[in-house]
């Protein structure tokens, strides 16, 4: 599935949910907020080590978690907007 943020498209393939794909997609998602790991983990109430492991490809994020995080960030306007 593709997720669009301004001009950025993040591809998160549920059928090929590898640690590497999870890491790349989640890194892009976090970069699009302008938050560092600590800020985003506190904002989402997700343990810092879990988020670090997702970003470094040490753990696989379930697809529904990615969707929920994307939805929350979108609805609460946490993505950086281009001007």
Structural domain including 32 reads 2-75
Higher-confidence residue: 81 or 41?
41
Q: 25 falls in which pLDDT band (50, 70, 90)?
A: confident
CATH number for the domain spanning 60: value is 1.10.260
pTM score, whole prediction: 0.79
Per residue in 33-54, pLDDT (tens digit) is 999 999 999 999 999 999 999 9
31 against 20, higher pLDDT: 31
HEC states along the chain? CEEEECCEEEECCCCCCCHHHHHHHHHHHHHHHCCCHHHHHHHHCCCHHHHHHHHCCCCCCCHHHHHHHHHHHHHCCCCCCCC
The CA distance from 73 to 83, in Å, is 19
Counting the structural domains of the chain, the total is: 1
Residue 80 lies in a domain: no
């Amino acid at each position: 599935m593709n997720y669009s943020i301004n001009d950025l498209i993040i591809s998160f393939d549920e059928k090929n949910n590898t640690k590497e794909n999870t890491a790349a997609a989640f890194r892009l998602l976090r970069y699009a907020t302008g938050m560092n790991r600590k800020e985003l983990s506190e904002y989402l109430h997700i343990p810092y080590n879990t988020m670090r492991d997702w970003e470094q490809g040490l753990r696989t994020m379930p697809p529904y978690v990615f969707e929920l995080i994307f939805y929350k960030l979108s609805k609460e306007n946490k993505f950086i907007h281009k001007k």
